[in-house]
């Protein structure tokens, strides 16, 4: 019997990790944040956001308009514009959406999916959920939940309010 590949079309995010531009952005951010005492915007953060957003999506019923590798793409790319924010002052969600569009195209995502992912990246700092579509909402939630405020030595100096900080490990 022919084996059915249930993972088909779920693994395009792996191509993002091999993309030259992606790797260059990661190393630029690492260099620019080398003296940063607060949360870094590194690959671990990106993967944490991708995984937490996926858990939230599954907990909320796993709506069909999304696929795992779409959520992973949004997680892996949501802060990719950080280096441009540090060097040129462009808000990272704006710079990130442009860079992400190029990387997604060469990673095999379809135009409609690219539009959805870049829209989520552009919106990931908007506070009101009503102004963001679903992918943006779960990425934004996961972004906040991913931070380990409860174990952070720079917590007292962080600009996040007491209420916003994660007091314990939820995900
Ligand atoms: Fe961000
Ligand atoms: Fe983030």
Whole-number Å distance, alpha carbon 57 to ligand 1 midpoint, is 19
Residue 7 has pLDDT above 60, yes or no: no
Ligand nearest 40 Cα, by number?
2
What is the torsion angle, in degrees rounded to the nearest 10, for the CA atoms of residue 140, residue 118, residue 27 and residue 108? 120
Within a 10 A sphere around the Cβ of 33, how many other Cβ atoms?
17
Ligand nearest 124 Cα, by number?
1
Provide mean pLDDT across the span 47-57: 97
- In this predicted model, what pLDDT tens digit does every residue of 22-34 receive, in sequence order? 999 999 999 999 9
Residue 117 has pLDDT above 70, yes or no: yes
User: Tell me, what's the pLDDT at 5?
Assistant: 46
Ligand nearest 45 Cα, by number?
2
Give CA angle at 121 (115, 110), nearest 5°: 25
Ligand nearest 141 Cα, by number?
2
Residue 44 has pLDDT above 60, yes or no: yes
Place of tokens 């190393």: 27
**Does residue 151 contact residue 129 with C-beta atoms inside 8 Å?**
no
Whole-number Å distance, alpha carbon 80 to ligand 1 midpoint, is 8
Rounded Cα gap, residues 68 and 78, in angstroms: 15
Rounded Cα gap, residues 125 and 96, in angstroms: 12
Q: Nearest CA to 92 among 160, 149, 143?
A: 143
What is the torsion angle, in degrees rounded to the nearest 10, for the CA atoms of residue 27, residue 48, residue 53 and residue 11? 70
**pLDDT > 70 fraction of the chain, expressed in percent and rounded:** 95
Q: Nearest CA to 105 among 47, 21, 42, 44?
A: 21
Token pair, residue 96, equals 């990130």
Whole-number Å distance, alpha carbon 51 to ligand 2 midpoint, is 13
Average pLDDT, the chain: 92
Residue 141 has pLDDT above 80, yes or no: yes
Give the N- to C-terminal CA distance of the chain in Å, as an integer. 39
- In this predicted model, what pLDDT tens digit does every residue of 68-103 receive, in sequence order? 999 999 999 999 999 999 999 999 999 999 999 999
């Amino acid at each position: 019997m022919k084996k059915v590949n249930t993972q088909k079309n779920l693994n395009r995010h792996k191509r993002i990790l091999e993309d030259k531009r992606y790797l260059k952005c990661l190393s630029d951010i690492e260099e620019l944040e080398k003296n940063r005492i607060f949360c870094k915007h590194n690959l671990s953060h990106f993967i944490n956001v991708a995984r937490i957003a996926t858990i939230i999506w599954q907990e909320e019923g796993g709506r069909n308009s999304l696929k795992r590798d779409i959520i992973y793409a949004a997680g892996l790319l949501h802060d990719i514009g950080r280096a441009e924010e540090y060097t040129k002052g462009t808000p990272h969600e704006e710079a990130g959406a442009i860079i992400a569009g190029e990387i997604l195209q060469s990673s095999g995502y379809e135009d409609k999916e690219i539009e959805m992912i870049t829209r989520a990246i552009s919106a990931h700092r908007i506070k009101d959920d009503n102004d963001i579509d679903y992918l943006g909402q779960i990425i934004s939630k996961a972004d906040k939940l991913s931070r380990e405020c409860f174990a952070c030595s720079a917590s007292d100096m962080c600009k996040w309010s007491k209420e916003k900080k994660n007091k314990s490990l939820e995900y």
